[in-house]
Amino acid sequence: MTYFEAIFLGALQGATEFLPVSSSGHLAIAQHLLPDFSQPGVFFDVLLHVGTMIAVILYFHRELKKLATAPFSKAEDAPLYRRLLLLLIAGSVPTAIIGLTFKDFFEGLFENIPVVATMLLVTGTLLFVSERLHRGNRKEEELTLRDALLTGLVQGCAIIPGISRSGSTIAAMLLRGIDGETAARFSFLLALPAVFGAAILSLRHLDAVAKEQLPLYLTGAAVAFIVGLLSIHFLMAVVRKRRLIGFAIYCWLAGSLILLFSLF
């Protein structure tokens, strides 16, 4: 891998992690097209995800501080954040079960470009349906255990490359009648334990990375962080206006073109 490839893939990850178009799908396709690209397991991909999750930590640092101190705080909003913390923990359970059970199977799909393309079509359909059928504007204080478990289940299934994690979880919450901004915020916060859990599991591949390649890996993660921070700002503005149809059309076009290319 070269610095150009590391920067390109980092920017791609940063741009697509939060926009509902599947970062894993785009990475799988880009890596397939890059000559001689290789990585131990999905270690490089996980590092890129860590970079974008650091962007989440920076963007939502106030919320995360309140979540961390909620169990001991006597502030007026402490009960809300204690409840939100419990919902995030509950939502992480189905994600962890699916991820640990099917991890090797899902990783194998990264090489199957027709599957990735098909899942992009699925992502586009989820976005389209959620925008058309969204009713209600429930806020964080109205989230339920069922909301959290369903979102965690959807996030677990989004390990499949081509299924957008942010897109599918936000779509699921919109269909549950949850406000777009609330859905996006919960989706991003719920991703943190999943990504850092995957990072810990991927540390076993660290010894397989050549020492001269480590700066390239870290460069990619740094670029993913910077671009990801800009993408969060953009998506939060989009979900406030409930304008997901453009991303649905993009996923349909990208999925269709890649599927045709891979088959013919």
pLDDT (mean) for 195-220: 73
84 compared with 132, residue with greater pLDDT: 84
Tell me the whole-structure pTM to 2 decimals: 0.82
- Number of domains comprising the chain: 1
Range of the domain at 142: 3-263
Q: Say if CB 179 and CB 137 are below 8 A apart.
A: yes
- DSSP notation for 224-264: HHHHHHHHHHHHHHHHHTT--HHHHHHHHHHHHHHHHHHH-
Is a pLDDT exceeding 80 seen at residue 196?
A: no
- DSSP notation for 155-193: HHHTTSTTS-HHHHHHHHHHHTTB-HHHHHHHHHHHHHH
pLDDT (mean) for 45-59: 85
